[in-house]
Amino acid sequence: MKVVIIGGGIAGVSLGILLHKLGTDFVINEKESGIPARGNAFLMHADGVSILKKIMGEDLHSIELPGQFIDTFTLKRPDGTELKYIKMEPWQCMRRSSLIEVLYSLIPLEKFKKNRTFLRFLYDDVTGKAISAEFNDGTIEYGDIFVGADGSRSMVRQSLFGNTNFTPIEVKEIIGIVSMPDAVAESPHIFTKYLSGTKGLSFGYIPTSASEFVWFIQFDSRFETKDALNRENMKDFCHDLMKDFP
C-alpha cells in the first residue's frame, strides 16, 4: 500500500513520520521548493505537546522540542491598567518554521517531492476510484490512499467539492517576530495582551524562545483602508492603529 500526501506542512509531515515508523510506503508532495516557512507562531496546549512527543518518539533524546513554556496570561488596557492576571495550564509557544524543521528531520529526504502544486486526481475508468494525483508540472504520483493536507485554501478540497464559500472576515490580524532577548528575560513565560476599551483593537506578544517574541495586532476589519495591508503601506498602517498603545 502506498499513501500519497498532498501538502508538506505540519499535518502532512506528522502523518509521514507515523507512516515511516509503521514501515508504510508514502510520499509527501509539497508546492514549495524548500521547507514551507509560511506562518509565524502558535500556542500548543500540553495535550498537543504530548501527542507531538509521541510522534517524535525516541528522536526526542537527540532533538530538542522547539518553543517556550507559557504559564501566565495578563490582559491590560493601553494605559497599563491590568484587567486580568491568570495562571494557566501549561502551553508551549513555538515558531511554525522551527517545528516544521524538526519534523522534516525525522523523515528521509527521498520521501519529499518538492515544487509540486496539486492539479487534479486521475480516476480508474472501471471502479471510479482515484488512482493517481497529477501536479501542475505534469508529474503523476500513483497511490492507494490520498491525503489532502494542503491548508485552508486546499486545492484537493476544491477538486473534490468545488469552491468554498468562506464567511466574511470580521477581525483581521497582523503577525510578526521580533528579537528582544532582554525583554524576554523579564517575562519569559508570560502571554501579554493589551485591549482597547473603546474599539475593536488589541496588541499582544508571546515569547517563542529565550530571545524572541511573536507579536500580533488584531483589529476590526472595518478599520482597514484601501491598500492598507500592502507591503509598502503596512508599517504606517500599524503605527496608526497603535498610536494610543504603549
Q: What is the pLDDT of residues 112-135, one digit of tens each?
A: 999 999 999 999 999 999 999 999
Across the chain, the runs of DSSP E, i.e. the strands, are 2-6, 25-29, 41-45, 68-76, 82-95, 112-113, 118-123, 130-135, 140-142, 145-148, 171-179, 190-195, 201-207, 212-220
Question: Counting Cβ atoms within 10 Å, is residue 28 exposed (0-12), middle (13-18) or buried (19+)?
Answer: buried
Rounded distance, CA 55 to CA 219, Å? 36
Residue 39, pLDDT > 80, answer: no
Across 24-67, the runs of DSSP E, i.e. the strands, are 25-29, 41-45
Rounded distance, CA 14 to CA 24, Å? 14
Average of per-residue pLDDT across 208-223: 94
User: Regarding beta strands 112-113 and 82-95, do their DSSP bridges make them parallel or antiparallel, or are they unpaired?
Assistant: unpaired
Residue 68's SS3 state is: strand
Among candidate residues 206, 235, 219, 234, the one with its CA nearest the CA of residue 95:
206
Average of per-residue pLDDT across 156-184: 94
Question: What are phi and psi for residue 169, nearest 5 degrees?
Answer: -85, 115
CA-CA-CA-CA torsion sign (201, 203, 208, 213): positive
132 bridge partner residues: 122, 142
Residue with cell 494542503: 150
At 174-184, the pLDDT tens digits run: 999 999 999 99
Average of per-residue pLDDT across 192-216: 96
At 60-95, the pLDDT tens digits run: 778 888 999 999 999 999 999 999 999 998 899 999
Torsion of CA 99, 212, 246, 44, to 10 degrees: 30
**pLDDT confidence of 31, banded at 50, 70, 90?**
very high
The answer to whether 29 touches 16, Cβ cutoff 8 Å, is no
The answer to whether 31 touches 117, Cβ cutoff 8 Å, is yes
Rounded distance, CA 131 to CA 138, Å? 16
Torsion of CA 1, 109, 95, 37, to 10 degrees: -100
At 95-107, the pLDDT tens digits run: 999 999 999 999 9
